[in-house]
């Protein structure tokens, strides 16, 4: 029984010895055992790990994230026009890398599958010596990779992930999220929907049948019922159903006058296209115009729904038509490099790379606990969302939320959304205890 | 000793396999595959494919639902960690067991049909498991996010033995030896070797012969008064146990279980691994599994920057041309390479990669004027 | 009552697509004995014929307007499709009707793709084990979809129906329902009728032509037909072309319902196999029957009333039916003994 009371250090020694006995002397030189913390950079460079979907339904979003990362690395290393580094309120980054080290990067394919994403992140940590992992385009993957990074002792800067759980139930000390969540979407959309459609409405939800969908359905229900709406039904639809007609026809005669589509990606494109096809956008119910709401918009995906998005409300983390200095600088350097405007996925990942770099510079180290301390409670501005704070309690960014609407007269194929309202941060803030979960301590990895 | 009952070739094959497996980290290092996570995946999916081949290679029954057993094994292992102990042994035992039980239930029904009807039945069961695990069964499976450990898990055995993990999330350890990194790989490698040994025994046993008879002509077998069903079902259950073990090991080296492990694409993957390596051969499936995992992890990682460096010896115009052509096949285009590889192998090497190795070694032998030593052909260390 | 009627319509519509894909798939099984895992890719290619057709039509004249700037500070480009520049309103009309017009392009394209596939690849796999056929066609499907992805990207591309077919048709009144209660999108009705006519044409072709007679004879007993001195292989090549065409047309006409993306073929692949097997391998009428049956049952299983009793039933209904049918009827609804049982 005394076996179980060995402390960590002797444990490691024991396992190392056993490993040597079993195998090869290379274990001695393995990075994991030698450094002060996982993948401590010893040379003149520091390696970032960009883990984005390159195959599967979100491949285009992943490609856009990768473009933004490359741009961010260029700017951190002093290349290009500096982008948002010029508008960022923190002036620690001088365009000569981080802590005197030049930033290099490795990439991997998450395939939007938890297993593949973790395997890819592990490769970057174990083989390529990545000091941090960032990226992703779904909450399942974000939570899976965040857990991995916690175990491995590296920082995870989440990409596009909207579920409450990422910084709620499943939050981890080593994980940080810039993107907003369903709770904020609900809080921002509620009042706008009341203004647009009145307080006497009955909503019908179609919800993707997995955790993110439920999270969003819950938030939207909560805030629409606060403004006096009723909920006629909330129907779960299988992921990737393709044809949603069998879920849409019951809406027609249900007496509901608002359809809420808690779908993302292809599901959103298909369900929205088909809802419009069934005449829901032009329908009259109870003497009121029927309305469709898509709580989480992605401009990239909205293009797939074409003209069906016209006039349909939703929320988004950021949009390229914003006119603040930060957004303008980012759109300019991204547009000049690639010839089209960046998506919200590109924006959030660019910000995450910059925020991480800046935190390392301010902390003077890459050690996760040091970097984390520099990010916790960090207040900044000039990254396109107005004054923003990385809340210490749950590692969630708090900033203004954009309520958008499908544009009636788009001037180009990128110009599909227009910003209806910028909901101020104070209105979407909630206590950290609301969503539960435990951050736990930082993990600096193998010493 | 049982070992002595093996033929000389089998012993050589087995010894070569053991050496290759244990020396994997050194041998695979030059290929960029010598890091723990990928090595673990090689071993685990090797076990998965070995088990699949016991069913497919011997009986010819093509199951499209084996991922369900792998997924069930993973969920079992994570639940064992959560409820009982972080020690991998109970998790491994239970996941193998559950894999077997699950396989017995599905196999019992599916084996009433043959051919493609059997394939679709197994596919249907696996897809039902996947869809339900992703949505309705979320309380058990944690749905999209996947089942993870939590600090607040009961772990009754660990608690009873006075083990306290403190504030950090526990990771599984074998009496103090953490199951990550190289120790994790060797833990899996030992199971791979055991599984390989069992498979050789099965292939060479009367039971194996009976299974082959099922493949060549089931009707004739039935006419001779032999009921083949128990043999088929045993093979199905054994391969289900291999899959459950593989699923359990996945959770041991990385305590997370997700529904997508049960999806039809995952079932398809093990079919592809087996055929790619060489269905019905002893070692082919392991090689097939290695090849596919290698592509997935290494080819997908080449980005334009790496390519630019690789082609930096070329003049600038040629460099960018070479990069743009190559980038179609690596990085985000790695699927294309994989698809093309499937086609090329099956067109030119109907017996899978194993046939390629046999042809090469036969060629070498011919050139050396037929040396009497037969060990070269069965030595697996020629594979990468 | 009207709710059930609408679900039947939904089922028929979905079933139309299932039946068309399964029809080609089972035709290939029945004649060539090949398990074609690239059949979903053919469906996807058909949809992308519509995408390509439209993008060729809307090749744009680009003029640079130096007075206006983009948000990233380069001069704004004014784009106008050549067809509109040259033909004015007529050009705009052609663009609007691009989905139905694309059929004209799809017929030769899909036939050609089918013939090339059969001659270039499939014919070498007639005598090979099914496992090999699966591997090679699956590889082909991946290659095809990755090529499409590298050209058109991974995101769905909207293909709207013509303006005239975008509305709803209120035909419930004629059937005795209250006005406005049974309305259905025009394009979906068109799709259903389209699938019926394609099925009818294929059946008529096999039933009433000499060619069809030989093919049916070949399906029943290939060796004997070969002994009679008939070159069955050439006919089977054409059969493969027809199967590809049917799958392609099914995909093409489906684009206003489902915005096409490179992955849509894989999503339909498993489903179409289930349909074929439920119908019975190699049985054409079985495939059609199973297609509509599964479509309708899938629609019913999605109704709130049903889901309240069996939560999640709509997630698994297709597979559940497959299991039940195969246990009750060993070779599917209308399968023959000995086809694909080894």
Q: Is domain A45-180+320-399 in CATH 3.40.50.2300, yes or no?
A: yes
Alpha carbon of C245: minimum distance to chain B alpha carbons (Å): 23
Mean pLDDT calculated for residue range C56-72: 76
Range of A136-140, A206-210, A352-356 with top mean pLDDT: A352-356
Instruction: Tell me: pLDDT of A261 over 50.
Output: yes
Alpha carbon of A322: minimum distance to chain B alpha carbons (Å): 31
The verdict on C329 touching A (C-beta cutoff 8 Å) is no
Chain A CB contacts of C161 under 8 Å are: 277
pLDDT in tens, B233-250: 999 999 999 999 999 999
CB contact under 8 A, A335 and C160: no
Cross-strand bridge partners of residue C169: C184
Alpha carbon of B342: minimum distance to chain C alpha carbons (Å): 5
pLDDT band at B358 (very low <50, low <70, confident <90, very high): confident
Q: Which residues, in sequence order, are CB contacts of B91 under 8 Å at separation 6+?
A: B76, B77, B78, B80, B81, B85, B172, B248, B251, B252
Lowest-confidence segment of A157-166, A182-191, A213-222, B148-157 by average pLDDT: B148-157
Which pLDDT score is estimated for B306?
Answer: 78
Which pLDDT score is estimated for A28?
Answer: 37
pLDDT band at B382 (very low <50, low <70, confident <90, very high): very low
pLDDT in tens, A368-379: 999 999 999 999
Mutate: best of A54, A59, A233, A246, partner C, most C CBs <10 A? A246
pLDDT in tens, A102-124: 999 999 999 888 888 999 999 99
CB contact under 8 A, B339 and C143: yes
CB atoms near residue C61 (< 10 Å) = 12
Chain C CB contacts of A322 under 8 Å are: none
CB contact under 8 A, B331 and A54: yes
Q: Where are the beta strands (DSSP E) in B183-270?
A: 256-257
Count the residues in chain C. Answer: 342
Which pLDDT score is estimated for C87?
Answer: 74
Computed from CA positions of residues A264, A270, A276, A280, in that sequence, does the dihedral angle turn out positive or negative? Answer: negative
Three-class SS state of A104: strand
Just give the CATH number of A183-316. Answer: 3.40.50.2300
Q: What is the dihedral of CA C295, C297, C298, C299, to 10 degrees?
A: 90
Which pLDDT score is estimated for B371?
Answer: 47
CB contact under 8 A, C158 and A253: no
Neighbouring chains of A at 3+ CB pairs within 8 Å? B, C
Contact C7, C305 (CB under 8 A): no
Q: How far apart are CA B265 and CA B258, in angstroms?
A: 14
Domain with CATH 3.40.50.2300 in chain A: 45-180+320-399, 183-316
Tally of helices (H runs) and strands (E runs) in chain A: 15, 17
Chain C residues whose C-beta sits inside 8 Å of any chain B C-beta: 35, 121, 124, 128, 130-132, 134-136, 138-143, 145-147, 150, 266, 270, 273-274, 277, 281, 311-312, 315-316, 319-320, 322-323, 326-327, 330-332, 340-342
Q: How far apart are CA A188 and CA A352, in angstroms?
A: 23
Q: Which of A82, A125, A59 is nearest to A446 (CA)?
A: A125
Is residue C235 one of the residues assigned to a domain?
yes
Is residue C139 one of the residues assigned to a domain?
yes
CB contact under 8 A, B117 and C340: yes
Chain C CB contacts of A209 under 8 Å are: 312, 315
- Nearest by CB: A270 against C2, C72, C258: C258
Q: What is the dihedral of CA A178, A179, A184, A186, to 10 degrees?
A: 180
pLDDT in tens, B319-350: 888 888 887 888 788 889 889 988 998 888 88
Mean pLDDT calculated for residue range A299-314: 88
Domains held by chain C: number:
1
**A227, burial (CB in 10 Å: exposed 0-12, middle 13-18, buried 19+):** middle
pLDDT in tens, A191-217: 999 999 999 999 999 999 888 899 999
pLDDT in tens, B250-272: 999 988 888 889 998 899 999 98
DSSP string, C258-286: S---TTHHHHHHHHHHHHHHHH-TT-HHH
Alpha carbon of A98: minimum distance to chain C alpha carbons (Å): 28
Instruction: Tell me: pLDDT of B373 over 60.
Output: no
Alpha carbon of C40: minimum distance to chain A alpha carbons (Å): 14
Q: How far apart are CA C130 and CA C124, in angstroms?
A: 12
Alpha carbon of B304: minimum distance to chain C alpha carbons (Å): 15
Is residue C79 one of the residues assigned to a domain?
no
Which pLDDT score is estimated for B296?
Answer: 87
Mean pLDDT calculated for residue range B286-300: 90
CB contact under 8 A, C156 and A304: yes
Is residue C90 one of the residues assigned to a domain?
no
Instruction: Tell me: pLDDT of A440 over 50.
Output: yes
Lowest-confidence segment of A347-356, B163-172, B273-282 by average pLDDT: B163-172
pLDDT band at A282 (very low <50, low <70, confident <90, very high): confident
Q: How far apart are CA B146 and CA B331, in angstroms?
A: 26
CB contact under 8 A, B347 and C274: no
Q: How far apart are CA C282 and CA C295, in angstroms?
A: 20
pLDDT band at A10 (very low <50, low <70, confident <90, very high): very low
Q: How far apart are CA B372 and CA B11, in angstroms?
A: 17
Chain B CB contacts of A19 under 8 Å are: 181-183, 186
Which of A:60-89 have CB within 8 Å of C? 60, 63
Alpha carbon of A79: minimum distance to chain C alpha carbons (Å): 18
Is residue C255 one of the residues assigned to a domain?
yes
By residue range, what is the domain housing residue C307? 2-43+103-328
Which of A:224-243 have CB within 8 Å of C? 233, 235-238, 240, 242-243
Q: How far apart are CA C197 and CA A338, in angstroms?
A: 47
Mutate: best of C25, C134, C265, partner B, most B CBs <10 A? C134
Instruction: Tell me: pLDDT of A15 over 80.
Output: no
CB contact under 8 A, A239 and B134: yes
Q: Which of A389, A384, A407 is nearest to A324 (CA)?
A: A384
- Nearest by CB: C155 against A242, A303, A321: A303
- Nearest by CB: C150 against B109, B112, B328: B328
Range of A338-342, B208-212, B223-227, B323-327 with top mean pLDDT: A338-342
pLDDT > 90 fraction of chain A, expressed in percent and rounded = 67
Residues A200, A206, A209: CA angle, nearest 5 degrees: 140
Mean pLDDT calculated for residue range B153-180: 79
Quick one: tokens of B303? 């980005």
Question: In whole angstroms, how far apart are CA C98 and each of B175, C13, C104, C112?
Answer: 68, 21, 10, 21
pLDDT in tens, C110-158: 999 999 999 999 988 888 888 888 889 999 999 999 999 989 988 889 8
Quick one: tokens of C198? 């394609």
Residues A406, A408, A410: CA angle, nearest 5 degrees: 90
The verdict on B208 touching C (C-beta cutoff 8 Å) is no
The verdict on C95 touching A (C-beta cutoff 8 Å) is no
Alpha carbon of A277: minimum distance to chain C alpha carbons (Å): 6
Neighbouring chains of B at 3+ CB pairs within 8 Å? A, C
Instruction: Tell me: pLDDT of B30 over 70.
Output: yes
CB contact under 8 A, A109 and B175: no
CB contact under 8 A, C261 and A304: yes
- Nearest by CB: A55 against B178, B181, B332: B332
Chain A CB contacts of B22 under 8 Å are: 22-23
Mean pLDDT calculated for residue range C232-242: 85
- Nearest by CB: A304 against C157, C168, C187: C157
Instruction: Tell me: pLDDT of B378 over 50.
Output: no
Mutate: best of C158, C189, C256, partner A, most A CBs <10 A? C158
Angle between the N-to-C axes of helices C2-32 and A245-252, in degrees from 0 to 180, rounded to the nearest 10: 170
Which pLDDT score is estimated for A391?
Answer: 94
Instruction: Tell me: pLDDT of A35 over 60.
Output: no
Three-class SS state of A324: coil
Which pLDDT score is estimated for B381?
Answer: 35
Instruction: Tell me: pLDDT of C249 over 90.
Output: yes
CA A217 to chain CA centroid, nearest Å: 18
pLDDT in tens, C191-211: 999 999 999 999 999 889 988
pLDDT band at B365 (very low <50, low <70, confident <90, very high): confident
Lowest-confidence segment of A224-228, B24-28, B192-196 by average pLDDT: B24-28
Lowest-confidence segment of A128-142, A297-311, B240-254 by average pLDDT: A297-311
């Amino acid at each position: 029984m005394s076996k179980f009371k060995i402390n960590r250090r002797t444990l490691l020694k024991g396992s190392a010895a056993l490993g040597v006995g079993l195998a090869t002397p290379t274990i001695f030189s393995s990075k994991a055992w030698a450094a002060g913390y996982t993948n401590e950079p010893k040379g003149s460079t520091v390696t970032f790990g960009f883990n984005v979907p390159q195959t599967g339904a979100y491949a285009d979003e992943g490609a856009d994230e990768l473009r933004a990362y490359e741009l961010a690395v260029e700017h951190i290393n002093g290349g290009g026009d500096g982008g948002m580094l010029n508008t960022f309120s923190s002036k620690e980054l001088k365009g000569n890398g981080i802590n005197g080290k030049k930033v290099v990067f490795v990439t991997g394919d998450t395939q939007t599958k938890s297993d593949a994403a973790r395997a890819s992140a592990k490769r970057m940590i174990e083989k390529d010596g990545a000091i941090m992992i960032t990226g992703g385009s779904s909450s399942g993957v974000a939570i899976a990779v965040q857990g991995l990074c916690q175990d491995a002792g590296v920082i995870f800067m989440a990409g596009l992930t909207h579920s409450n759980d990422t910084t709620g139930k499943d939050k981890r000390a080593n994980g940080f999220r810039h993107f907003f969540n369903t709770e904020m979407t609900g809080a921002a959309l509620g009042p706008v929907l009341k203004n647009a459609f009145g307080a006497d409405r009955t909503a019908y939800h179609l919800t993707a049948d997995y955790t993110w969908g439920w999270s969003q359905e819950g938030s939207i229900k909560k805030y629409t019922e606060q403004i006096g709406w009723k909920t006629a039904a909330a129907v779960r639809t299988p992921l990737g159903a393709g044809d949603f007609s069998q879920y849409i026809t019951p809406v027609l005669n249900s007496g509901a006058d608002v359809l809420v589509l808690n779908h993302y990606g292809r599901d959103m494109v298909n369900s929205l296209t088909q809802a419009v096809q069934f005449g829901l956008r032009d329908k009259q119910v109870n003497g009121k115009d029927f309305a469709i709401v898509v709580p989480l918009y992605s401009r990239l995906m909205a293009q797939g729904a074409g003209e069906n998005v016209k006039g349909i409300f939703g929320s988004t983390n950021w949009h390229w038509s914003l006119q603040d200095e930060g957004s303008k600088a980012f759109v300019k350097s991204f547009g000049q490099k690639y010839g089209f405007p960046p998506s919200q996925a590109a924006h959030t990942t660019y910000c995450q790379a910059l925020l991480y770099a800046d935190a390392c510079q301010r902390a003077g180290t890459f050690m996760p606990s040091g970097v984390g301390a520099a990010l916790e409670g960090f207040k900044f501005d000039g990254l396109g969302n107005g004054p923003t704070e990385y809340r210490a309690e749950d590692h969630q960014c708090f900033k203004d939320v954009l309520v958008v609407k499908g544009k009636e007269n788009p001037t180009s194929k990128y110009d599909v959304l227009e910003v209806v309202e910028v909901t101020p941060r104070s209105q979407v803030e909630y206590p950290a205890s609301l969503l539960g979960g435990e951050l736990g301590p930082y993990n600096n990895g193998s010493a | 000793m049982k070992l002595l009952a093996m033929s000389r070739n089998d012993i050589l094959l087995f010894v070569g396999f053991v050496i290759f497996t244990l020396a994997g980290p050194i041998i695979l290092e030059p290929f960029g595959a010598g890091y723990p996570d990928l090595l673990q995946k090689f071993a685990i999916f090797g076990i998965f494919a070995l088990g699949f081949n016991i069913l497919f290679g011997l009986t010819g029954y093509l199951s499209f639902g084996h991922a369900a057993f792998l997924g069930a094994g993973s969920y079992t292992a994570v639940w064992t960690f959560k409820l009982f102990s972080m020690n991998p042994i109970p998790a491994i035992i239970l996941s193998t067991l559950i894999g077997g039980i699950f396989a017995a239930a599905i196999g019992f029904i599916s084996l009433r049909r043959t051919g493609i009807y059997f394939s679709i039945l197994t596919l249907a069961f696996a897809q039902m498991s996947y869809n339900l695990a992703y949505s309705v069964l979320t309380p058990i499976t944690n749905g999209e996010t996947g089942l993870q450990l939590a600090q607040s898990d009961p772990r009754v055995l660990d608690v009873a033995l006075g083990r306290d993990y403190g504030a950090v999330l526990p990771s599984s350890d074998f009496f103090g030896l953490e199951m990550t990194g190289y120790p994790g790989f060797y833990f899996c490698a030992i199971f791979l070797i055991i599984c390989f040994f069992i498979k050789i025994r099965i292939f060479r046993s009367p039971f194996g012969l009976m299974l082959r008879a099922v493949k060549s002509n089931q009707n004739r077998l039935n006419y001779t008064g032999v009921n083949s069903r128990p043999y088929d079902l045993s093979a199905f259950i054994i391969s289900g146990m291999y899959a459950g073990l593989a699923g359990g090991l996945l959770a041991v080296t990385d305590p997370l279980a997700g529904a997508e492990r049960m999806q039809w694409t995952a079932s398809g993957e093990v079919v592809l691994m087996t055929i790619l390596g060489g269905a019905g051969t002893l070692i082919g499936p392991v090689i097939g599994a290695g090849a596919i995992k290698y592509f997935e992890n290494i080819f997908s990682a080449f980005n334009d920057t790496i390519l630019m460096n690789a082609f930096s010896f070329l003049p600038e115009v040629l460099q960018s041309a070479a990069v743009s052509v190559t980038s179609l096949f690596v990085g985000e285009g790695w699927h294309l390479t994989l698809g093309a590889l499937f086609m090329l192998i099956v067109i030119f090497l109907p017996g899978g990669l194993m046939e390629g190795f046999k042809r090469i070694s036969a060629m070498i032998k011919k050139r050396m004027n037929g040396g009497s030593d037969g060990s070269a052909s069965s030595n697996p260390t020629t594979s990468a | 009552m009207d709710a059930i009627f609408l679900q039947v319509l939904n089922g028929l519509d979905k079933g139309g697509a299932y039946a068309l894909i399964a029809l080609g798939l089972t035709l290939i099984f029945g004649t060539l004995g090949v398990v074609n895992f690239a059949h979903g890719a053919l469906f996807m290619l058909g949809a992308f014929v519509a995408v390509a057709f439209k993008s060729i039509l809307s090749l744009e004249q680009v003029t640079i307007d130096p007075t206006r700037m983009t948000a990233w500070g380069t001069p704004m480009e004014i784009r106008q499709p050549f067809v509109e520049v040259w033909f004015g309103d007529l050009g705009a009309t052609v663009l609007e009707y691009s989905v139905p017009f694309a059929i004209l392009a799809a017929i030769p394209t899909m036939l050609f793709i089918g013939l090339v596939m059969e001659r270039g690849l499939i014919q070498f796999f007639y005598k090979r084990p099914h496992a090999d056929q699966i591997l090679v066609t699956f590889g082909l499907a991946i290659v095809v979809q990755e090529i499409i992805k590298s050209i058109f990207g991974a995101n769905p591309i909207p293909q709207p129906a013509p303006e005239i077919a975008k509305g709803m048709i209120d035909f419930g009144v004629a059937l005795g329902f209250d006005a406005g209660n049974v309305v259905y999108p025009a394009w979906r009705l068109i799709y259903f009728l389209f699938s019926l006519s394609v099925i009818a044409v294929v059946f008529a072709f096999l039933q009433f032509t000499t060619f069809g007679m030989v093919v049916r004879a070949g399906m029943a007993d290939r060796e004997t037909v070969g002994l009679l001195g008939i070159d069955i292989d050439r006919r089977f090549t054409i059969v493969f072309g027809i199967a590809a065409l049917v799958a392609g047309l099914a995909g093409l006409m489906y684009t206003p319902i489902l915005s096409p993306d490179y992955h849509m073929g894989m999503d339909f692949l498993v489903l179409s196999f289930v349909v074929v097997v439920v119908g019975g391998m190699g049985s054409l009428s079985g495939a059609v029957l199973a297609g509509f049956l599964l479509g309708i049952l899938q629609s019913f299983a999605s109704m709130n009333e049903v889901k309240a009793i069996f939560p999640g039933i709509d997630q698994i209904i297709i597979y559940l039916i497959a299991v039940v049918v195969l246990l009750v009827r060993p070779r599917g609804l209308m399968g023959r003994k000995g086809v694909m049982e080894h």
